[in-house]
A and B are shown apart, each in its own frame.
Chain A
Amino acid sequence: MPRLDGPVPFRGGGFAPQSRAWAAAATLLGLIALWQAAASAGAIPTLFLPPPAAIARALWHLTVSGELWKHLSASLSRLAVGWVLGTVFGILTGIAVGLSSALRSPAMAVVSALFPIPKIALVPLFIIWFGIGEGSKLATLGFGVFFPTVIATAGGVDNVSRGLIRMGQSFGLSTWEITRKIVLPGALPAILSGFRVTSSIAIVLLVAAEMIGADRGIGAFVLSAGNLYDTDNLLAGIVLLSALGLTVAWLIGLAERALLRWR
């Protein structure tokens, strides 16, 4: 007969990865240092890929000359206005779709048909409709953000417990109170994770729209630097975009932590 002796071996643990902020920062800094070292050693031709020091120098010149703020402020205001427009209308539509049988199928049919169109393809059309100025850029961003927001919000509303809604009704809460105090907070986690998607869509569309018809904005700046083979400035613009994306993701993380404390 087989025997089993000795201490019971430990088999649990693992499958619980932890986030380490210092490791994230150290990885990025390490990669930059490695890149700089390789460039200084002559392993990377500076014409193809300028070293971090040259990019930093370009960024510095842009900052002191005021160019940086000119382009950044144009991009940021487009991003903010376009994203807010698309998000507000998207959340309102998403809630309507989630709550109303009359709107659900018609609105979802339209959303499903328009959502898959790459909005970049529509930029020329938006320029015809809304003019070459800010209108076409805001429309591109707004439309790009609107559809995924509708889908995320409607999904979130569908997942709100019907029991909680019945509870609200049983205490005589009005439809408006139920929507604002039960449906909207219940859908908030889904809406906030939609923000992660829509913010990166918005940055992509922002750059695309600025490349098609703008003289200010990071997209326009990157395009003109590229046309001149000015790789230092080109990369400086790209670094700005990366920093923009990181900042937006960080802000969304803050919002999630503040608004979803109850979880």
Chain B
Amino acid sequence: MTAGLRLVLDKVGHAYDDMTVLDDISLTAEPGRVTVLVGPSGCGKSTLLGIMGGMLAPTTGTVCCQGEVAPDCLNPLTYVFQDFALLPWRSVAGNVALVLEGRLSRAERADRVREVLALTGLTAFADAWPRQLSGGMRQRVGIARALAVRPACLLMDEPLSALDAQTRALLLDDFAALIERSGTTTVYVTHNLAEAVRLGHRIVVLSRRPGRIREIVSIDRPLSDRRAGDADLAAMEAALWDMIRDDAAAAERDGPVSGHVSA
């Protein structure tokens, strides 16, 4: 295992037209650890994640990568999307193969597809169309596709928020295991505090718009021995909620926020 990739943000700010959504964000995503971004909706989490992966140019500040990338890594900074972003005209296996085409030989590609589908419990669905899958299964394809390129850094934008509560709980445990196993640097955006304390090594709390860093809290326990409902996690969740509830209520009163940036 290599040292892994570190993502360093230095005084990042962003404005859409003249609306400032992010201000003075300096932050480091440590190699092999999960950094969770939480904050009320509309505070710029998706914008920040877009900037971190090079999908959006920040108005001010810089984002730098530092570290080593495994030689078989095909796409160092890799997203998992809230709306899954699957091609409806490709089968499950075809959606995974999409990101490998032209980079791996046919045989290597087939092996890689088989491997990540097995890892995400999708082997039996390799030939299914996305429309035939439940939301949870679709997001499994999203994560399989992301793992297939052997990313150095996973950027996940509310990957569970389009799913129902039960599917979310099941998938959350799978995510924890997959992230722990792959050891990639991970940035995970959520507005769900239970997800934050379950997955995060560091939880970055953003204020409401314009998003600034309010607080960074660390949880050092390994992901594998965290269980939903552990007392310390529940206490942490409550503390986080105390921190952001006023902001969340204010953001709510600010009225509807328009669509997400599609990172």
Q: Which residues of A contact B (CB under 8 A)?
A: 161-164, 166-167, 169-173, 177, 181-182, 185-186, 188, 260-263
Contacts and interface: CB of A to CB of B under 8 A. Distances in A.
Given A166-B263, A171-B149, A181-B98, A262 B75 contact: no
A185 B90 CA distance: 10
Given A163-B83, A163-B262, 17 more contacts: A163-B85, A166-B262, A167-B79, A167-B85, A170-B75, A171-B145, A171-B149, A172-B74, A172-B75, A173-B98, A173-B99, A177-B101, A181-B87, A185-B89, A188-B89, A262-B131, A263-B131
B97 to A, nearest CB: 10
Interface residues of B: mostly helix, strand, loop or mixed?
Answer: loop
B89 A163 contact: no
A171 B99 contact: yes
B88 A263 contact: yes
Given A171-B149, A262-B129, A182 B87 contact: yes
Contacts of B99: 171, 173
Contacts of A161: 85
A162 B263 CA distance: 10
Contacts of A261: 129
B127 to A, nearest CB: 12
Contact of A171 (B75, B89, B131): B75
Contact of B81 (A163, A169, A182): A163
7 interchain residue pairs of minimum CB distance:
A167-B85, A163-B262, A171-B99, A262-B89, A170-B79, A185-B89, A166-B262
A166 B87 CA distance: 12
Nearest to B53: A170
Contacts of A167: 79, 81, 85
A102 to B, nearest CB: 21
Contact of A170 (B74, B78, B87): B78
Interface residues of B, number: 25
B55 interface: yes
Nearest to A185: B89
Contacts of B102: 177
A200 to B, nearest CB: 27
Interface of B: 53, 55, 74-75, 77-79, 81, 83, 85, 87-90, 98-99, 101-102, 129-131, 145, 149, 262-263
A188 B89 CA distance: 10
Nearest to B260: A163
Contacts of B75: 170-172
12 contacts: A161-B85, A170-B75, A170-B77, A170-B78, A170-B79, A171-B99, A171-B149, A173-B99, A181-B101, A185-B87, A260-B89, A262-B129
B55 A170 contact: yes
B252 to A, nearest CB: 26
A194 to B, nearest CB: 18
Contacts of A166: 55, 85, 262-263
B263 A171 contact: no
Contacts of A262: 88-90, 129-131
A167 B78 CA distance: 9
Nearest to B79: A170
A262 B88 CA distance: 6
A172 B145 CA distance: 13
A188 B262 CA distance: 23
A169 B99 CA distance: 10
B153 to A, nearest CB: 12
Contacts of A171: 75, 78, 98-99, 145, 149
Nearest to B129: A262
> A161, A170, A261 — which one has the most chain B CB atoms within 10 A of its CB?
A170
Nearest to A189: B89
Contacts of B149: 171
Contact of A169 (B55, B83, B130): B55
